[in-house]
Chains A and B, each alone.
Chain A
C-alpha cells in the first residue's frame, strides 16, 4: 500500500521541509508517520486544513519550508485561506490524496473528489493529478523545487487508484 510514500518522504527530506502540516488520510498514513518520526521536521496535526495554509505562511516568514497534506475533501476547507497564500505569494507545496474517483464506496466523497482539482485551479493553485505510482515522488520533487525557488503554489494530487481501497468491511 502507498508504494510511493517512502520516495516522497525522501524528497521532502531533500527539499529541507521543516514543518509538515496535515489532516490525515488513509493514503497518507505512511508518509505522515515518517514525518512524525523525523527529528528534523515538526509534524503539525491540524483541526482543519485551512490552518495549514496560515501556518505555512508564518513558517516561510520565519525561514522554514513546509508541506501541507490532506485528502481531497480538505480542499474545500482551504478556499478563503488561500487568499492569504495568494495575496502574499507564499510558496505552497500541497500533497492531496484523492477520494471520490475510482472504486469510491462513499458517494459523499464525490462532490469534492470530482472537483478538487478545478477548485484549486480557480483558487490560484496549480494542481497536477498523478496517476502512476512511480511518478508521484518525481512530481513532488519538481513541485518542491518550483515552489521554493519561485514562490509558486502547487498541489500534487495522488489519484485514488494509487490508494488503498476503502470498503467499509464489505
Chain B
C-alpha cells in the first residue's frame, strides 16, 4: 500500500499546467475535487464539471469527441470516478477518437467522503488497464519532470490518450462551479454549436 500524502505534485498545479494555455480545449471534470480544480484555474464555457453521475465523465468526453472531431477534448477525473467507469475505457478504445485524452488525477483517495483509500492505493494500474483495452498512448507522471513530458502528449498527441498523474492526497479549499446542469449544458453546447 502506498502513502500518497507524500507525493510531490499538487493537484491544483497540475490542473493549471494542463489548462493555462487552453485554446478551444473542451474540459469535462469528474465529480468532486477535479470539478473544483478546473474551476480554481478559471471558469469557462467549455468546462463541464460533473456534480454526480459517478463513472460517467469519460463517456461524456467520448460523446463530445465523436461529435466534435476537430476539437481536443480533455477528461480530467479522479481515481475513484475512473474506477467506477472502467468499462468506458474499453468503449473509448473501440471508437478510437484521436482527439480525446482521459487524465486521472490520482491521489489514491475518495476525497469527498473522508479520504478513504481507493484501489489505486493498493496497486491497481489504470494506465495498464487503458493499454490493455487498446489505448494507443498511455502514461504515468509522478513528479514535475514526468508532468512536463506528459503535457504535450495529453494536449496534442493523436490518441485516444490515457494518463495517470499521481498527486498528493490533501484536502483543499472548495472552489465551486455552478451546479445548475442546464446552465452548464447550454453554455457548452452554445460555445460549440451556437444553439
Residues of A participating in the B interface, judged by any CB pair closer than 8 Å: 18-19, 42, 44-48, 50-64, 66, 80-81, 83-84, 87-90
Cβ-based interface call for B154 (8 A): no
Residues of B participating in the A interface, judged by any CB pair closer than 8 Å: 28, 48, 50-68, 85, 87-88, 90-91, 94-95, 181-182, 184-185, 188-189, 192-193
Provided the pairs A46-B91, A63-B192 are in contact, do residues A54 and B67 lie with their beta carbons within 8 angstroms?
A: no
How far apart sit A83 and B55, CA to CA, in the bound complex (Å)? 12
Q: Are B182 and A58 in contact (CB under 8 A)?
A: no
Interface SS, B side: helix
Provided the pairs A19-B63, A63-B67, A87-B51 are in contact, do residues A44 and B91 lie with their beta carbons within 8 angstroms?
A: yes
With A55-B62, A59-B66, A83-B53 given, name 16 new contacts (CB 8 A). Answer: A18-B67, A44-B62, A44-B94, A47-B88, A51-B59, A54-B53, A54-B58, A54-B63, A55-B91, A60-B189, A61-B63, A61-B67, A63-B193, A81-B55, A88-B182, A88-B184
- Select one of A53, A58, A87 contacting B62, CB under 8 A: A58
By a CB distance below 8 angstroms, the chain A residues around B188 are: 61
B51 to chain A, nearest CB (A): 7
Max chain B Cβ within 10 angstroms of own Cβ: one of A48, A56, A62, A81: A62
B133 to chain A, nearest CB (A): 10
Q: Are B91 and A89 in contact (CB under 8 A)?
A: no
Q: Are A57 and B185 in contact (CB under 8 A)?
A: yes
Max chain A Cβ within 10 angstroms of own Cβ: one of B52, B87, B181: B181
- Nearest residue (CB) in A for B187 is A61
The 6 closest A-B pairs by CB, nearest first: A58-B63, A62-B67, A47-B87, A54-B56, A88-B181, A54-B59
How far apart sit A56 and B56, CA to CA, in the bound complex (Å)? 11
How far apart sit A86 and B82, CA to CA, in the bound complex (Å)? 22
- Select one of B91, B185, B193 contacting A88, CB under 8 A: B185
Q: Are B55 and A50 in contact (CB under 8 A)?
A: yes
Max chain A Cβ within 10 angstroms of own Cβ: one of B56, B61, B95: B56
- Nearest residue (CB) in B for A47 is B87
By a CB distance below 8 angstroms, the chain B residues around A46 are: 87, 91
29 contacts between A and B (CB under 8 A): A18-B67, A19-B63, A44-B66, A47-B88, A48-B87, A50-B56, A51-B59, A51-B85, A53-B56, A54-B53, A54-B57, A55-B59, A55-B62, A57-B56, A58-B59, A58-B65, A60-B185, A60-B189, A61-B185, A62-B192, A63-B193, A80-B53, A81-B53, A83-B52, A83-B53, A84-B50, A84-B53, A88-B181, A89-B182
- Nearest residue (CB) in B for A56 is B63
Provided the pairs A18-B67, A62-B193, A64-B67 are in contact, do residues A57 and B60 lie with their beta carbons within 8 angstroms?
A: yes
Q: Are A59 and B63 in contact (CB under 8 A)?
A: yes
Q: Are B181 and A64 in contact (CB under 8 A)?
A: no
- Select one of B48, B61, B66 contacting A64, CB under 8 A: B66
- Nearest residue (CB) in B for A87 is B181
How far apart sit A33 and B90, CA to CA, in the bound complex (Å)? 20
Provided the pairs A51-B85, A81-B53 are in contact, do residues A57 and B63 lie with their beta carbons within 8 angstroms?
A: yes
By a CB distance below 8 angstroms, the chain A residues around B60 are: 54-55, 57-58, 84
How far apart sit A54 and B63, CA to CA, in the bound complex (Å)? 8
Max chain A Cβ within 10 angstroms of own Cβ: one of B57, B94, B185, B188: B185
By a CB distance below 8 angstroms, the chain A residues around B53 are: 53-54, 80-81, 83-84
